[in-house]
Amino acid sequence: CKILRCNSEYVAATLHLRGPDRSPAFCTALRSYSLCTRRTARTCRGDLAFHSAVHGIEDLMIQNNCSKEGPTAPPRPRLPAPNPHGFESLDICDYERSFFYKHGRPPGFQHCAAFGDPHIRTFHDDFHTCRVEGSWPLLDNDYLFVQATSSPVTKGSNATVTSKLTIIFKNMKECIDQKVYQAELDNVPAAFQDGSVNGGVRPGGSSLVIWERSPGRHVEIRAAYIGTTIAVRQAGRQLSFSIRAAEEVTRAFTEEQDLQLCVGGCPHSQRMSRSPRGRSRVPAETARALCREMLPVEDVYFQSCVFDVVTSGDTNFTMAAHGALEDARLFLPDAEKLHIFQ
Quick: pLDDT tens for 150-196. 888 767 666 678 999 999 999 998 899 999 999 999 999 999 999 99
Of 82 and 65, the one with more pLDDT: 65
d(CA 9, CA 87): 14
Which of residues 330 and 53 earns the better pLDDT score?
Answer: 330
What is the structure's pLDDT at 104?
85
Q: Single out the residue in 11, 41, 64 at which a domain terminates.
A: 64
| Residues 38 and 120 reside in one and the same domain | no
pLDDT score recorded for residue 281: 77
- Do 320 and 256 belong together in one domain? yes
**In this structure, are 118 and 52 located in the same domain?**
no
Instruction: Round to whole Å and give the CA distance between 312 and 282.
Output: 8
Number of domains in the chain: 2
With 0-12 / 13-18 / 19 or more C-beta atoms within 10 angstroms meaning exposed / middle / buried, residue 215 is: exposed
- In sequence order, what E strands does the chain have? 109-115, 119-121, 127-130, 134-140, 144-152, 160-169, 179-184, 208-214, 218-223, 228-235, 238-246, 271-272
Q: Is residue 342 part of a domain?
A: no
Q: What pLDDT score does 84 carry?
A: 41
Whether residue 315 sits in one domain with residue 202:
yes
Q: Is residue 116 domain-shared with residue 250, that is, in the same domain?
A: yes
- Provide the residue count of the chain: 342
Q: Any idea of the CA torsion for 77, 83, 85, 86, to the nearest 10 degrees?
A: 0
